[in-house]
Chains A and B, each alone.
Chain A
């Protein structure tokens, strides 16, 4: 049998030359089998607990209510009927709530990116005299847990100061407060801080003004960080519940997360579970496409925001 360390040497990932288990230990037959069975068990554990509930949801959303209630743990669906998705989509108007969610996510994304990139650019590149103070004020809001803002922010949205209009029951009530994310601003500012200044200076010599510099040089160079902030912005809005529940009271403009709990008592189980599956689809697809963003420590940022 080939020695197993040969494989890891071939891959040669720079940091992971070796881990906890030494090559000598890998060569011992008993040790190898123990480790392999631990890994096998872990994989089974992750499959059951990580994927299991979602697979169950996928299965239950194509089986009739009766089957799901009588034998919830039947491994294989008794029938295969995508009709529940269609009925959830049209009859219970999941289509409308889905579009509301997309619309809310798109607007929140735009406001977050606008505030973070322009603000980060001003604080990092243009650097007015009060830039440090302003950065400090933005940073300080990170110390304030979001719950403190719940009631005063709600009252602010009910009656916007200076303008004296109400944003209740408009998407603005979700879009605009989403922009006040200190985390995004700081993340983007730090990225801008590390861009090579020589390029900016060269652009200036060539006669580029601050707008041109922002639009043609800084933004195109920041695609990676803008991408990270974008994905987390969309997923974050998709997961949001309490805030849209408070400010969007008109059912016609509510997103899926707010609408689903109220739909449950009046919807048949099979259709309801199909609706849940629809609501999960976009975040899962985003995760699968942008896996590397999530799995490379970006999760830490998500944890702070929550």
Chain B
């Protein structure tokens, strides 16, 4: 950082002569005026709710009666809920499947696309298009594609190939993989663009050197391209884990958590606790589960920021 960034531009020359009155009249007030939107909005809608989440997790609250301190009871109640284990297992299963589908496809696409000599823009535009479609629209559209009747969209394609029909969302075994299929379609494009940008940073000299050594294309991918992408790959892996742990819209709209709770996720369970309880929302339990998930994800987020930070300063 250069030196001018260290000194405030509008700062007075002599700091010692500053009195409260000059501070208020000179630029203290205007600084405050500029900070006001940020302070109010972050205060009310970010800092306050974060603190409140932690407080609520050790309280019994339902908006009707006065909140009472219950210690770790909410956490105990969540851990004792049989749906909790189910939701965690389902979310982990989703993350696992999303990794199997969603990790290799963008890498292959990006490596091939970066070598294209014509229509480069067309490739990336096509790959990115599903990302901008509103999730609700893609889920509702795919719900129609997943029609379990033999005449359904996907089943008629399978039928033409002599396969199927598959039950898709109707069956506890195939519901989650179906959701992953849609989620991969909706998300892969964003990852492809990240990899494409990373591929541009591979130094051409490395490829030159590999050519001199007589490396085949496959060997160049294996020993030059992929090692160079390692950092970005790890980064997107963490981002993907953070995103999949917060899965909501897809299972909520596709299956509502069914069939037989096979697609209930952690976030869906939080929603159930807080907003779909006939006895009034159990906000304490919802907050306890949120705090647990946040603590778990906090580890990944910290790794992510630590990595991006050390990279941005080194380059």
Measured CB to CB, the nearest residue on chain B to A46 is B126
Question: In the complex, which residues of chain A have a beta carbon less than 8 angstroms from the beta carbon of B4?
Answer: 197
Interface centre among A19, A182, A209, A238 (most CB of B within 10 A): A19
Do A299 and B128 have beta carbons less than 8 Å apart?
Answer: yes
A54-B129, A119-B37 known; A161 vs B44 contact (CB < 8 Å): yes
- Interface flag for B24 (CB, 8 Å): no
Please measure, in the bound complex, the distance between the C-alpha atom of A111 and the C-alpha atom of B190, giving whole angstroms. Answer: 26
- Interface flag for B233 (CB, 8 Å): no
Please measure, in the bound complex, the distance between the C-alpha atom of A288 and the C-alpha atom of B223, giving whole angstroms. Answer: 36
Question: In the complex, which residues of chain A have a beta carbon less than 8 angstroms from the beta carbon of B128?
Answer: 50, 287, 294-295, 299
Report the minimum CB–CB distance from B78 to chain A (whole Å): 13
- Interface flag for B234 (CB, 8 Å): no
- Interface flag for B134 (CB, 8 Å): yes
Do A49 and B50 have beta carbons less than 8 Å apart?
Answer: no
- Interface flag for B116 (CB, 8 Å): yes
A73-B153, A153-B49 known; A295 vs B124 contact (CB < 8 Å): yes
- Interface flag for B246 (CB, 8 Å): yes
Question: In the complex, which residues of chain B have a beta carbon less than 8 angstroms from the beta carbon of A51?
Answer: 126, 129
A interface, size bucket? 35 or more
- Interface flag for A291 (CB, 8 Å): yes
- Interface flag for A210 (CB, 8 Å): yes
- Interface flag for A160 (CB, 8 Å): yes
Q: Which A residues, 126 to 159, have Cβ-Cβ distances below 8 Å to chain B?
A: 126-128, 134, 137-138, 141-156, 158
Measured CB to CB, the nearest residue on chain A to B152 is A72
Question: In the complex, which residues of chain A have a beta carbon less than 8 angstroms from the beta carbon of B156?
Answer: 72-73
Question: Which of the candidate stretches B82-90, B93-101, B165-173, B193-201 sits at the interface with the other chain?
Answer: B193-201
- Interface flag for A122 (CB, 8 Å): yes
Q: Mark B119-153, 1 if CB is under 8 A from A, else 0.
A: 10111111111111111111011101100000111
Contact of A4 among B35, B117, B236, B298 (CB under 8 A): B117
Contact of B115 among A15, A19, A214 (CB under 8 A): A19
- Interface flag for B47 (CB, 8 Å): yes
Do B45 and A54 have beta carbons less than 8 Å apart?
Answer: no
- Interface flag for A63 (CB, 8 Å): no
Contact of A260 among B11, B119, B136 (CB under 8 A): B136
- Interface flag for A227 (CB, 8 Å): no
Please measure, in the bound complex, the distance between the C-alpha atom of A155 and the C-alpha atom of B190, giving whole angstroms. Answer: 33
Do B44 and A294 have beta carbons less than 8 Å apart?
Answer: no
Please measure, in the bound complex, the distance between the C-alpha atom of A147 and the C-alpha atom of B288, giving whole angstroms. Answer: 12
Question: In the complex, which residues of chain B have a beta carbon less than 8 angstroms from the beta carbon of A176?
Answer: 41, 44-45
Measured CB to CB, the nearest residue on chain A to B304 is A304
Please measure, in the bound complex, the distance between the C-alpha atom of A5 and the C-alpha atom of B38, giving whole angstroms. Answer: 53
Do A239 and B134 have beta carbons less than 8 Å apart?
Answer: yes
A20-B115, A21-B115, A287-B132 known; A214 vs B34 contact (CB < 8 Å): yes
A246-B275, A295-B125 known; A260 vs B114 contact (CB < 8 Å): no
Show 15 A/B contacts (Cβ-Cβ < 8 Å), sorted by A: A15-B201, A54-B133, A72-B151, A72-B156, A115-B42, A122-B34, A126-B27, A143-B301, A147-B267, A148-B50, A148-B293, A150-B286, A161-B44, A242-B271, A299-B193
Known: A20-B114, A118-B37, A295-B193. 11 other contacts (CB 8 A): A42-B116, A46-B126, A53-B185, A145-B294, A145-B297, A145-B298, A148-B290, A177-B45, A182-B46, A299-B193, A306-B243
